[in-house]
């Protein structure tokens, strides 16, 4: 297996949905862990049997990649708290696990001098396939991190993930009625 990059984990909410729990191979590269409370951070670190609990933003900023994963509404407050020290995040690479694109625009606004990659689980049979968009340096590093852990990454151009997800929603909504209409036409024409 390839050597993984060091990354920090910033999480809130139910930890079982965090990326390291979905990719056990990522655990070996886990550096600093920060959750809403020190107790939650310690619990996550103990469950993963890796990582160092921290309350210091400097420890998070020392990692190659900052993985933001968890409950988006609860993570918003933590991201705003991080943004209070803007000099720490200049040139840093963020990987935001954001399936509903709730944190994407907030992160782009709060960290304008950082590189951001946004990750969303692809709608496929494989639970290890993800869609990724964002700034090239962050996408390249994040892609290396996930593929090194056994994941499959499909990179979208620019910040087009909401457009991609909208197209999937339209397909899901339009194809069944179209098939029903075609079947009705066939039935009325005498084909059974």
| pLDDT tens-digit map of 1-48 | 344 468 899 998 877 778 888 787 788 889 999 999 999 999 999 989
How many domains is the chain built from? Answer: 2
Regarding whether 168 and 118 lie in a shared domain, the answer is no
Q: List pLDDT tens digits, range 99-151.
A: 777 788 888 889 999 999 998 877 664 567 888 899 999 999 888 888 888 88
Provide the domain limits for residue 170. 160-192
Regarding whether 175 and 106 lie in a shared domain, the answer is no
Would residue 2 count as lying in a domain? no
How many residues in total does the chain contain? 192
Would residue 1 count as lying in a domain? no
Regarding whether 94 and 49 lie in a shared domain, the answer is yes
Regarding whether 175 and 82 lie in a shared domain, the answer is no
Residue 53, CA distances (Å) to 31, 64, 98, 99, 165 in order: 9, 17, 23, 26, 35
């Amino acid at each position: 297996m390839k050597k993984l990059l060091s990354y920090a984990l910033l999480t809130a909410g139910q930890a079982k949905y965090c990326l390291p729990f979905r990719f056990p191979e990522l655990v070996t590269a886990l550096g600093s862990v920060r959750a809403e409370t020190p107790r939650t951070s310690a619990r996550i670190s103990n469950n993963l049997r890796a990582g160092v609990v921290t309350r210091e933003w400097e420890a998070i900023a020392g990692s190659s990649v900052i993985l933001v994963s968890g409950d988006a509404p609860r993570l918003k407050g933590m991201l705003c708290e991080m943004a209070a020290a803007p000099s720490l995040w200049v040139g840093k690479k963020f990987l935001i696990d954001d399936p509903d694109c709730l944190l994407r625009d907030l992160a782009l606004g709060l960290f304008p001098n950082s590189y951001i990659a946004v990750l969303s689980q692809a709608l496929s049979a494989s639970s290890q396939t993800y869609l990724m968009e964002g700034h090239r340096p962050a996408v390249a590093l994040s892609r290396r991190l996930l593929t090194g852990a056994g994941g499959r990454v499909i990179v979208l151009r620019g910040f087009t993930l909401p457009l991609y997800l909208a197209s999937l929603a339209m397909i899901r909504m339009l194809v069944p009625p179209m098939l029903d209409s075609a079947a009705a036409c066939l039935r009325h024409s005498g084909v059974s």
